[in-house]
Amino acid sequence: MNLIFFLLGVGFVYAQGDVLDDRKSEFKRLTFYDYRGTNSIDLAFGTSVPNGDLLEPQFEIYFKGGYKLHFAEHFNLGVSYSKYNIAFKDIYNQGFMSFDINLEYLMLPYNKFTPFIYAGYGYNAANYFESTSSKVQGAAGLEYIFADRFGLRLFAEYNYAFSDELDGLIAGSGDDTFIRTGLGLHMYFGGRKKKERIRKKLKTVINSNLIVPYNK
């Protein structure tokens, strides 16, 4: 009989532990939707600098606008349009645009402050599509949620173009590369229904799995 009571007690402890773990997980998800959402608009300004075949590369203006779908707390898939220049002092200054798609990973999605990384594929074009090329890109950065659903972002992005013509000169054995850095505003929206479902689930779990017996 004592063994039966012991086993029942162990089972009760494990069951309560599972309830607590479930509550913690749901509270974390609720925090994500407090700070962020299922969608976001991304706007950024910064600079671009080339690494090509010419000397004295210059920093030029860079602008980006995009949209992201957050299909999980840690992951999102985004598309963006960027406008930037590639310039070398007194020699070359050409405007470009790129259309990019990236998979992004948020390291700490339940916190206001989180590092992030992303990588993807892009289509690069000179102004008026005089020349085009494909490219790949990867970036790392930091995001800080300064108000519910609004975040500031600082990032640096490395781009490898499958072309040696970005700087207007075909020379050397490698393709051209460039770096874009920026400060951006992230505006989150969506997820209200998911947030409400989480609240209802938490209420049900708490009311039906009391750790301490309820006394009237």
> Is 165's pLDDT higher than 80?
no
Predicted confidence at residue 213, as pLDDT, reads: 43
- Helix/strand/coil for 17: helix
- Work out the mean pLDDT of the chain and round it to a whole number: 83
Q: Which residue has the higher pLDDT, 161 or 173?
A: 161
Of 68-72, 79-83, 90-94, 201-205, the range with the lowest mean pLDDT is 201-205
Predicted confidence at residue 115, as pLDDT, reads: 98
117-139 confidence digits (pLDDT tens): 999 999 999 888 888 999 999 99
Q: Which residue has the higher pLDDT, 106 or 162?
A: 106
Where is mean pLDDT largest: 24-28, 51-55, 107-111, 176-180? 107-111
**Tokens 């916190």 -> residue:** 111
Within a 10 A sphere around the Cβ of 128, how many other Cβ atoms?
Answer: 8
Q: Where are the beta strands (DSSP E) in the chain?
A: 39-51, 57-58, 60-69, 75-88, 92-106, 113-126, 132-147, 150-161, 177-189
* Torsional sign, CA 198, 103, 112, 81: negative
> Is 5's pLDDT higher than 50?
no
Predicted confidence at residue 63, as pLDDT, reads: 97
